[in-house]
Structure 1
Amino acid sequence: MLRITDARTGEPAEIRRALTRVHAHVPRNDASALRVLLVADVLARALELGGSPVLLVADPPSALRERADDLGIRPSEAVGTRGGQRVLHVVGGGSRFGSGYGSGSGSGASVGDDTAGITDTSDTEVTVEVAPVVGPEESAASGASLRLALLTRPRRTPVNLDAAALAEAVDALDHWRKAVAAWATKPSRPVPDDARQALRAAWEDDLDVVAVLGVLRDVEKAEEVPDGARFETYAYADRLLGLELTREIGASA
């Protein structure tokens, strides 16, 4: 079961298996808003992996939607879409939490107010906070490497998208894709039970994507894990990460 910290209370909320609406509040077009959309996307993936159907709701500016498409962030339902026994509001860090933001449907959203449409009086609603992107953004940042750069820091920790951070993400992504392509040529083996449990424990514990990446590094180094099992483990984790880790399979054939 996914447990996520409610920014209004600082306490974990248990998200039980049921139709869930994930509402990303992104009235602006900047890297911080892109990170909010990305967290909403990963959160929706985690819920679906746990068996919950999800409605992802957002109304990003068109330029931000284009950047989101480049990162492989799923298209969203229109603001005002209803449904879901629980609503998870994903907002940028520093947003205001309090009453007076409407009915929770998002219909009252206005530019410049990250939390428009949020009500904080219902136990069925949870606010998920995402720290901003700080400092100048490297102009070459795009695609899966940018997605990875944004995922390598805890969501409540500010992230810096400078040239060094992006280069690190590019190198890591290139290394993993080549490794996955090589492992894919070996006999298939199931995901080791301990690796599967570690991955699920990580993302179900407050969406700890950094811990998920750590599990993958451990699996790569573990001598006792067959290459076929490494492949299946990375492919399984990529259902959450969305990094297209199997993209290089067959590229050199």
Structure 2
Amino acid sequence: MLTLVDTRRGDRLPLGWCTGRLVRLCASLPYVEAELSILGLRIAVVTDLLRRVLEELHGQQAMVAVAAPGMTETTLREQLEPLWVQAPAGVIDSPHAGAEVLGGPIDVLVTSAGDTSAGTGILRLTVGAMTGPCDGDGSVLRMLVLLRHYAQSAHLDEKDLDAADETLYRWRELIARWGAQASAPMPQEVVSRAYAACDDDLDIPAVLALLSSLEHDDDIREGAKFETFAHLDRILGLDLARFLGH
């Protein structure tokens, strides 16, 4: 079962109450002059990860609203699409208006430490501060976000961007090569550990570490590596199959 650390309570809260019904998520995004900051992009990606885990691993239907006062849906979509973040159900001025868009009260509010929307949402996830450049390839920025647990603060620099770009490019090349090999079953131990990491307060860095180990495991067939990377990318959203057929 997916469990998350509630920032207000300081303890773990399973999303068991959401079983069998729509899960309503709200992302509260800071921005400057209609441009999302790197922290705003991070919050959007974390919310998208939560949606993907709910839908892909648990068969839940999830709907997302974004609180970004004064920002139009078109502007927001233009900034989020390069990061493979699904367009929200609606853009609102405050999380308190989330129920109007989502058809019911917010289940999880994903926000920053400075957000004063106290009491909004059954569960609150506070995303750690992040500074640094927020331009460049959207998939690379998403990779940078995934490399760190959402609650940890981080400062990014050009070296971080280059390293993420290098890893992403290498994985895409490998997947294109592995995809030409005969398919093979995914290693269940790796997949099970990846699922468990996702359910453990969205420990996505642990999932990336598993994939890094799998990349260099000579005992696993290339076809199995391809299936595993492609399968877990449904959660990661890194467009790892981009070079297939090239």
Q: Would you call these one fold, judging by a TM-score over 0.5?
A: yes
**Hey, what does 1:2 align to over in structure 2?**
2
Higher normalized helix content (fraction of residues):
2
1: CA distance, partners of 2:42 / 2:225: 29
Aligned pair 1:191/2:203, yes or no? no
1: CA distance, partners of 2:62 / 2:242: 26
**Hey, what does 1:205 align to over in structure 2?**
200
3-state SS in 2 of match to 1:24: strand
Whichever residue aligns with residue 146 of structure 1, its letter is L
Query: Could you list the per-position Cα deviations for residues 10-57 of structure 1 after superposition, in whole angstroms to 9, with x for gaps in the alignment?
Result: 111111333201111115231111111110001100000111110111
3-state SS in 1 of match to 2:4: strand
Aligned pair 1:71/2:55, yes or no? no
**Hey, what does 1:92 align to over in structure 2?**
112
2: CA distance, partners of 1:96 / 1:6: 15
Judging changes above 3 Å, is the alpha-carbon distance between structure 1 residues 219 and 91 closer, same or farther for their aligned structure 2 residues?
A: same
2: CA distance, partners of 1:248 / 1:213: 19
**Shift, 1:91, TM fit:** 0.3
**Shift, 1:95, TM fit:** 2.9
**Hey, what does 1:137 align to over in structure 2?**
133
**Is the 8 Å Cα contact of residues 30 and 37 (structure 2) preserved in structure 1?**
no
**Hey, what does 2:45 align to over in structure 1?**
38
Deviates more, 1:237-246 or 1:12-21: 12-21
Match among 166, 169, 193 for residue 161 of structure 2: 166
If the length of structure 1 is used for normalisation, what is the TM-score?
Answer: 0.84
Q: Which runs of 5+ in 1 are unaligned?
A: 100-117, 120-124
1: CA distance, partners of 2:140 / 2:243: 15
Whichever residue aligns with residue 68 of structure 1, its letter is L
**Is the 8 Å Cα contact of residues 8 and 97 (structure 1) preserved in structure 2?**
no
**Is the 8 Å Cα contact of residues 30 and 64 (structure 1) preserved in structure 2?**
no
**Hey, what does 1:128 align to over in structure 2?**
125
**Is the 8 Å Cα contact of residues 34 and 64 (structure 1) preserved in structure 2?**
no
**Shift, 1:162, TM fit:** 1.3
Residue identity over aligned pairs, in percent, reads: 31
1: CA distance, partners of 2:105 / 2:227: 33
1: CA distance, partners of 2:117 / 2:67: 20
2: CA distance, partners of 1:233 / 1:14: 27
**Is the 8 Å Cα contact of residues 189 and 232 (structure 1) preserved in structure 2?**
yes
3-state SS in 2 of match to 1:206: coil
**Is the 8 Å Cα contact of residues 138 and 162 (structure 1) preserved in structure 2?**
no
Cα RMSD between the aligned structures? 1.8
Judging changes above 3 Å, is the alpha-carbon distance between structure 1 residues 224 and 130 closer, same or farther for their aligned structure 2 residues?
A: same
